[in-house]
A and B are shown apart, each in its own frame.
Chain A
Amino acid sequence: MNAITPNATALPAPVGLLAELTHRCPLRCPYCSNPLELDRRSGELDTATWQRVLTEAAGLGVLHVHLSGGEPTARNDIVEITQTCAKLGLYSNLITSGVGGALAKLDALYDVGLDHVQLSVQGVDAANAEKIGGLKNAQPQKFAFAERVTQLGLPLTLNSVIHRGNIHEVEGFIDLAVKLGAKRLEVAHTQYYGWAYVNRAALMPNKAEVDRSIRIVEAARERLKGQLVIDLVVPDYYAKYPKACAGGWGRKLMNVTPQGKVLPCHAAETIPNLEFWYVSDHSLGDIWANSPAFTAYRGTDWMKEPCRSCDRREKDWGGCRCQALALAGDAAATDPACSLSPLHAKVRDLAVEEAAETPPDYVYRTIGSNVQPNVRTPLNEEAPL
C-alpha cells in the first residue's frame, strides 16, 4: 500500500476537490487561507451547480471532497450537497469551525453519509482561543460539537494552526485531541499566504519554539501510537526544502471558490495575470486539462534554475508558486523556502527578525475589508512582476 503518487508525464487525474462553499464564517482568524477579498453571499453558486460540479469531479477521478469555506454549515443546502457526495461515492470531509449552526446540522449530515469531520481549534485556553478566532464563547460550542461527532461514531480530526500566539499550547492540543476522542490531530504551523501573510509579524514564532513543538509532537506520536495519529506541518521559512504545494500544481487538487472560480490552490489568485476559468463557463474536466491557470505551472517546463536541473524537481515541484511570488516577486522562481533559492537566507533572517519583535495586533479577516494584497515588499526588490 502506498499513497497515490503522481505520474510526471501523463495528465494526472485529480484526487481531491476543495469546495469552498462560502466565505461566510463566524470566526475571524488572522491566518485564514481565504483571499483578502472575500466573496459575498449574493455571488455564491447555487445547489444545482455544486451538484453538477461534484458529478463532474467524480467522473474525473476525484476521491475526496473537502467541504470547506468559510464555514460550510453556513450554507442552508450543506446537507443536500453532502448527500450528493455520498451518492457519487465521494469521500466527504467537513472542514468546520463547529460554531454557529454547525451542531444543529450535524445529525442530518451524519444521516446522509458524511464520512469525516475536521474541526478547527484555535487554542486550548478558552480566552486565548477566542482572542485568536475573534469570537466570544466559541470554545464551549466547539467542545459540544466535538462530543456529538464522536457520539455519532464519526471520525474526528482536530486541526490546530500553530503560531506564536499558541505555540506554547502544543502539549495542550495533544491532550485535548485525546480528551475529545479525535483519531487525528493536525499540528499545522501557519503557512504565510493570504491573511497570514498580512499578519506574519504577529504570527511568526521563533526557531527555538518551533524546534520545541516538533520534539513534543515526535514524543507524543510514539506515546500515542495506535490511538492518535498526529500530522505535523512545519513552517516553511525554517525548512530546508519547500513542500510540494497541493501535491504539485495541477496534479492532485482543485479548489472551487464560492463563486465557481477554479484554482489550482486556494492562494493562486494572488498571482497576477493568471487566467482562471469558472464552472459556469466550462466543464470541470476542461478546466483541469486546459485552463491557463492550471497549465501555467503544471509539470516542469515552466521552471528556471535552480529548479530546472534539480533532482528534486518532481518531488516538490519547485515549492509554492504563491510564496515565490510573495517573497521573490516572481511566481516562476524557486520557492525561497528552499535552501537552494538565492533568497533563502533572507527569508530565514526575516523570520528570525520578526519573531524577535514585539508582535503587532492581529488584522482580523472581514468581508469587505480594504486590506490590500502584497502589503509587504518582496525580498527581491528588483524582480519584475
Chain B
Amino acid sequence: MTAPFPTPKPDEAQRLLSPQELEAALRDIGARRYHNLHPFHRLLHDGKLNKDQVRAWALNRYYYQAMIPVKDAAVLARMEDASLRRVWRQRIVDHDGDAPGDGGIERWLKLAEGVGFARDYVESTQGILSATRFSVDAYVHFVKERSLLEAIASSLTEMFSPTIISERVAGMLKNYDFITKDTLAYFDKRLTQAPRDAEFAIEYVQKHATTPALQRQAMAALTFKCNVLWTQLDALYFAYVAPGMIPPDAWTPGTGLVPEPAATASPVSLAAGTGTITALDVPRLPRGVRLRHDAVRNQHVLLAPERTFDLDANAVAVLELVDGQRNVRDIAGLLGQKFAADPAVIEADILVMLNDLATKRVLER
C-alpha cells in the first residue's frame, strides 16, 4: 500500500552543499557555460577565422584586459582584512606590472600589435563593440554592488581558463601564420597565475558560503561572469562572422592598423566582386570557373584558370547551391534542412570555405 502523499524531501535547491559538492556545482557551471564552448572560440582555435576576425577579437578583448585591474581594485577596496588584500593585490600587479612595459595589459597590447594594430588605436578603445563595453562595465559594477562573496565567486572562471589557454595557444600557433609564440606571451603567464588565483578564490567561497542561500549566490555570481564572457563572443560573432553586421563606429577591417611595409606603396582599389563574403552576400562562380563531374576519375572538380580543385561531398553540396541568386544564409538554411543540422553552424563553416575560394579568385559576390 502506498502512502497517500509522497514523503516530503528537503528541497534540493535549498540544501546546504558540502564544500566538495559546492566546488563540483561550480565546476558544472563552467562545464556548461564557459566561453570555450562558444562557436567563436571554436573557430578561433581551429584556425577558421581570417586575420581580420582574429584582429576584432584581440581589439575587443583588450578592453576586458584593461578593466580587470579596475575591477580588482574595486574588490580590494571592499576587503577589510589585510591578509586578504595582500593576496588580492597580486592580481593588480600581474596585470599592471611593476613598471612600464611590464604586466598582462602590456602583453595583451603586444598581442594586438602582433596582429597588426597600432598601439594608440587599441588603447583608445574607440573601435570596440558596444556590447563589449556593456558586458565589461557590468562586471565592474557587479563587484562593487554585490557582496564580497559574490565578487570573489565571480572571479572563479579562472578555474576553467588553463584548459582554454592551452587549447588556444596550440591551436593559434598551428593554424595562423601571422601568430607567433611572442605574440601569445600573455597566455604563458596566465597558465601559472590563473590556477593560483582560482585556488585562493575557491577556498574563500567554500569557507564563506555558509548557508544554502549564500551558496546559491556564489553559483549565480559565477553564472553571471560566464555570461559576461559569452556575451562578448556573441557580439563578435554577430559583427564579424555572421551575419557580419558591424555596428556604427565599431572597428572595420583595414582601419587602426600599422601600415604594412609594401614593396611599392601604390594605392590599389579593390576590384569589383572582391572582398570578404558575409552571410547576406550572394556568392557566384564567375565566368571561367565551372563545377563539373569528372567521369574518368568519378569525382566532382572545380575547373578554374590553370587549376583544378578536387571537391569532397560537402564542397559539392555547397557549390551546387551557389547559383548567383541565393545568399550564404539561404544556402546554409537549405543545407541545414538537407542534413538536419544547425544552419548557424553550417553558415560559419561555409563562410570559411567560400572566403577561401574568394581569396583564390575563383568565387565572387
- Is the CB of B268 closer than 8 A to any CB of chain A? yes
Is there an interface contact between B287 and A155, defined as CB atoms closer than 8 Å? yes
Is there an interface contact between A3 and B308, defined as CB atoms closer than 8 Å? yes
- Distance (whole angstroms) from the CB of B147 to the closest CB of chain A: 52
A48 to B310, CA, bound (A): 32
Of the stretches B40-48, B119-127, B256-264, the one at the interface is B256-264
Overall SS of chain B's interface: loop
Is there an interface contact between A1 and B288, defined as CB atoms closer than 8 Å? no
Is there an interface contact between A226 and B275, defined as CB atoms closer than 8 Å? yes
| Chain A interfacial residues counted at CB < 8 A | 41
Is there an interface contact between A171 and B305, defined as CB atoms closer than 8 Å? no
- Is the CB of A154 closer than 8 A to any CB of chain B? yes
Is there an interface contact between A219 and B306, defined as CB atoms closer than 8 Å? no
- Is the CB of A174 closer than 8 A to any CB of chain B? yes
Is there an interface contact between A64 and B303, defined as CB atoms closer than 8 Å? yes
- Is the CB of B266 closer than 8 A to any CB of chain A? yes
- Is the CB of A227 closer than 8 A to any CB of chain B? yes
Chain B residues lying within 8 Å of A171, measured Cβ to Cβ, are 263-264
- Distance (whole angstroms) from the CB of B270 to the closest CB of chain A: 6
* Residues in A224-240 with C-beta less than 8 Å from chain B: 224-229, 231
Is there an interface contact between B290 and A91, defined as CB atoms closer than 8 Å? yes
- Is the CB of A61 closer than 8 A to any CB of chain B? yes
Chain B residues lying within 8 Å of A91, measured Cβ to Cβ, are 290, 303
Is there an interface contact between B306 and A118, defined as CB atoms closer than 8 Å? yes
* Residues in A143-170 with C-beta less than 8 Å from chain B: 153-155, 157
What range describes how many residues of B lie at the interface? 35 or more
Total number of residue pairs linking A and B with CB closer than 8 Å: 103
* Residues in B288-303 with C-beta less than 8 Å from chain A: 288-290, 292, 294, 296-297, 301-303
A175 to B275, CA, bound (A): 19
- Is the CB of B359 closer than 8 A to any CB of chain A? yes
Residue of B nearest to A155 (CB): B288
- Is the CB of A116 closer than 8 A to any CB of chain B? yes
- Is the CB of A15 closer than 8 A to any CB of chain B? yes
Is there an interface contact between B263 and A219, defined as CB atoms closer than 8 Å? yes
A270 to B276, CA, bound (A): 48
- Distance (whole angstroms) from the CB of B149 to the closest CB of chain A: 51
Is there an interface contact between A227 and B270, defined as CB atoms closer than 8 Å? yes
- Is the CB of B5 closer than 8 A to any CB of chain A? no
Is there an interface contact between A227 and B307, defined as CB atoms closer than 8 Å? no
- Is the CB of A282 closer than 8 A to any CB of chain B? no
Is there an interface contact between A229 and B361, defined as CB atoms closer than 8 Å? yes
A184 to B290, CA, bound (A): 17
Residue of A nearest to B355 (CB): A226
Is there an interface contact between B260 and A157, defined as CB atoms closer than 8 Å? no
A1 to B292, CA, bound (A): 14
- Distance (whole angstroms) from the CB of A245 to the closest CB of chain B: 16
* Residues in A86-125 with C-beta less than 8 Å from chain B: 89, 91, 93, 115-116, 118
Query: Contact check: which of A2, A224, A229 meets B310 at CB < 8 Å?
Result: A2
Is there an interface contact between A93 and B306, defined as CB atoms closer than 8 Å? yes
Encode B306-339 as 1/0 by CB contact (under 8 A) with A: 1111111001000000000000000000000000
Q: Could you tell me which B residues sit within 8 Å of A by CB distance?
A: 260-264, 266, 268, 270-271, 274-276, 286-290, 292, 294, 296-297, 301-303, 305-312, 315, 358-361
13 A-B residue pairs with Cβ-Cβ distance under 8 Å, sorted by A, are A1-B311, A1-B315, A4-B297, A64-B303, A64-B306, A64-B308, A89-B292, A93-B306, A174-B264, A216-B264, A223-B260, A223-B268, A231-B306
